[in-house]
Structures are given as C-alpha cells and as structure tokens.
C-alpha cells in the first residue's frame, strides 16, 4: 500500500470516568461491543467504531510527553446525522433524557439542514443533524453527502 486509505474506522475518546461514560452511551440504547470493560469500551455505529479509552493511557500512546487536556471543550465535535428534520428534535430529547447537557437547542441552519448540540457527561460535543443531502446504507453508514 502506497497511501493512507480514505476511510475512518475508529474514533477514540479519552475518558476521565470510564464507568460514567460507558453508562451514558449504553443509556442511549447503543449496543456495547463484546469484550468492553472499564479498560476499553466500544460501540459499533454504522461502520465506525466509537471507542472509549482511559485518558492517561490514550495520552501515553497518542501524545507521549505532551501535557494532557485541562478540561473543557477540545475543539472537536462528533456528529450523528438522522434521517429527517423531525428526528433531530426526537434524538436531542432522548440524549438529554439520558443525561446529556444541552449546548444548543434544535434549530434550522443557514445551510438548509437542522441541528442541535449536546455534551456527554465529560463535555465531548455531539451535533445531532439532518441534512437533506445525506444518504445512508442499511447499516446506517454515511455513503454520500452532497
């Protein structure tokens, strides 16, 4: 192989409180992958593995010698695109009921879609969005956008 393949396979979030974050994502109804425990946990989401890993261990692997994040927003958002404009509101309400913090209420966006933002119990930002141009396969994986 001469090039890095154009794919995203795994998104890993470093966690300060694994038990709390695992519980939050399970309460959304996301099925946890076999073998998950408080040393590593994962959820298969439409073809991408969303993984949780203790922050000190992740830092040792991915950023050796670099000071860890101080908390607050990292500058990264994750997104879950839904199939309809109305589903933004429904998914947003479900996430808040599961313990998410409201960052931005559902609203129609200038780009023609609708979205809202929540934060998980450790402040990781998620956008819940609908874009009329997004197309998904039978697994829920994004196959085209635009």
* pLDDT tops 80 at residue 71: no
* Global pTM value: 0.87
Phi first, then psi: what are they for 48, rounded to 5°? -120, 135
Q: What is the rounded CA–CA span in Å between residue 14 and residue 55?
A: 4
pLDDT at 1: 60
Tens digits of residue pLDDT in 13-62: 999 999 999 999 999 999 999 999 999 999 999 989 999 999 999 988 88
- CATH number of the domain bearing residue 27: 3.10.180.10
Same domain (yes/no): 39, 91: no
Cα dihedral 43, 92, 123, 54 in deg (nearest 10): -10
| pLDDT surpassing 90 at residue 86 | yes
Q: Does 91 lie in the same domain as 53?
A: no
The reply to whether 86 and 130 lie within a common domain is yes
Residue 1, domain member (yes or no): no
Question: Does residue 117 belong to any structural domain of this protein?
Answer: yes
Please tell me whether residues 80 and 61 are part of one structural domain.
no
Calpha distance 95→118 (Å, rounded): 8
- Give the closest residue to 131 by CA, choosing from 87, 100, 93: 87
Residue 119 has pLDDT above 80, yes or no: yes
In this prediction, residues 83-96 reach a mean pLDDT of 96
Q: Which domain holds residue 113?
A: 76-138
Q: Using a pLDDT cut of 90, give the percent of the chain over it.
A: 73
Last residue of a domain, one of 24, 48, 66: 66
Q: 43: which strand partners?
A: 32, 50
Residue 82 reports pLDDT greater than 80: yes
Average pLDDT of the residues of the chain: 92
Pair (24, 53) in one structural domain? yes
109, 61: one domain = no
């Amino acid at each position: 192989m001469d090039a890095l393949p154009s794919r995203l396979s795994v998104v890993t979030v470093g966690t300060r409180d694994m038990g709390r974050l695992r519980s939050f994502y399970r309460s959304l109804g996301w099925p946890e992958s076999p073998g998950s425990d408080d040393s590593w946990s994962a959820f298969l989401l439409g073809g991408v593995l969303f993984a949780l890993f203790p922050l000190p261990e992740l830092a040792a692997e991915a950023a050796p010698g670099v000071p860890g994040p101080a908390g607050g927003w990292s500058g990264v958002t994750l997104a879950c695109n839904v199939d309809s404009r109305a589903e933004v509101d429904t998914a947003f309400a479900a996430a808040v009921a599961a313990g998410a913090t409201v960052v931005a209420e559902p609203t129609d966006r200038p780009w023609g879609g609708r979205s809202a933002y929540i934060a998980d119990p450790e402040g990781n930002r998620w956008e819940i969005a609908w874009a009329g141009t997004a197309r998904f396969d039978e697994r829920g994986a994004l196959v085209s956008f635009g």
